[in-house]
Amino acid sequence: MSILLTGSSGFLGKNLIHEISKENLVYTLNRNSGDFVCDLSKDIPQFNIDFDCVIHAAGCAHLVPSNLDDEKLIFNSNICGTVNLLKGLEINKIPKRFVFISSVSVYGLEFGFNINENHELLATEPYGLSKIESEKIISQWCTNNDVICTILRLPLVIGKDPIGNLRSMFIAIEKGYYFNIGGGSTKRSMVLASDVAKYILVASSVGGTYNLTDGQNPSFYDLSKKISKMYNKKNVYNIPIFLAYLIAYIGDLFGNLIPLNSRRLKKILSSLTFDDTKAKQFFGWDPQSIIKNDIF
């Protein structure tokens, strides 16, 4: 197939292009490089090629907004960028399939178990809200243009050379200052970037909205143990919960001078997992275990 991949220079995009370019003709669109160079947050792309499938992975993902300018950047990148991409496709030829890389952040939850796709979308943060709005825009556009629409809601994406919070965890473990709290028993849904890449075109032929996870929901202890082994380090330190609460209280008083506060501690101690049963039923999603797989 002829495929357009936006955001191919990003962490997930690099994994996608490595896999889907094996048997398909892939064109890339990025802000500063690629077959099509365009800042989607500002401009409508000009295409001179017809695409069978578009995979929209571009957007602002690893920014924690600290002011209105940051929030505006997220909305412009994720919502305006989506609108401009669709306008560019309308000028050219409408593709047969469209895949949007969304996020489990649309659910707006900080804790819960086996959340499925029917759960209400409760996001209040800019990133989650921008993904909700983009999902709506894309779904309606696909319906209007008779395009197969696939929305993939991803949790933490795992792979080589990670970015964001996972990269910070790698660095902290390597340098010896990472610690688990209360044994690190909190569980979180994660997914291998390579698995998303492996199944994305299969999903694109089916359509629908899906959570994707590794099906195991590893704990912080399991993940930190695996990373420690990679660096030939001893198991990471553990802080008892009562001591963590004391540090968090101090953090509430002194702000950014202390890396832990009550809000962050609550999030760390809250398990949040998602159900990927629908993907297994509709297109045979069969993910690898992050803990059992040699991925790093």
Tell me the pLDDT tens digit for each residue of 50-87.
999 999 999 987 666 668 888 888 899 999 999 999 99
Q: Is residue 84 part of a domain?
A: yes
pLDDT for the residue 232:
86
Q: Is residue 56 part of a domain?
A: yes
Average pLDDT over residues 103-129: 96
Cβ neighbors of 6 (< 8 A, separation 6 or more) are: 13, 28, 29, 30, 40, 54, 55, 56, 57, 58, 85
Q: Is residue 296 part of a domain?
A: no
The DSSP bridge partners found for residue 274 are: 115
Both tokens of residue 130? 């921008």
pLDDT for the residue 77:
93
Q: Is residue 106 part of a domain?
A: yes
pLDDT for the residue 110:
92
Spell 217-245 as b/e; 16+ CB within 10 A means b.
bbbbbbbbbbbbeeeebeebebbeeeebb
Q: Is residue 83 part of a domain?
A: yes
Q: Is residue 278 part of a domain?
A: yes
**For residues 47 and 40, what is the distance between their CA atoms, to the nearest angstrom?**
13
CB half-sphere exposure, 105, CA atoms < 13 A: 19
Q: What is the CATH number of the domain that holds 136?
A: 3.40.50.720
The DSSP bridge partners found for residue 237 are: 179
Quote the number of domains for the chain: 1
**For residues 151 and 102, what is the distance between their CA atoms, to the nearest angstrom?**
6
Residue 255: CB atoms within 10 A of its CB come to: 8
Q: How confident is the model at residue 234 (pLDDT cuts 50, 70, 90)?
A: confident
Q: In which domain, by residue range, is 78 found?
A: 2-159+189-215+271-283
CB half-sphere exposure, 174, CA atoms < 13 A: 8
Q: How confident is the model at residue 250 (pLDDT cuts 50, 70, 90)?
A: very high
219 DSSP 8-state letter: B
Q: Is residue 77 part of a domain?
A: yes
Q: Is residue 78 part of a domain?
A: yes
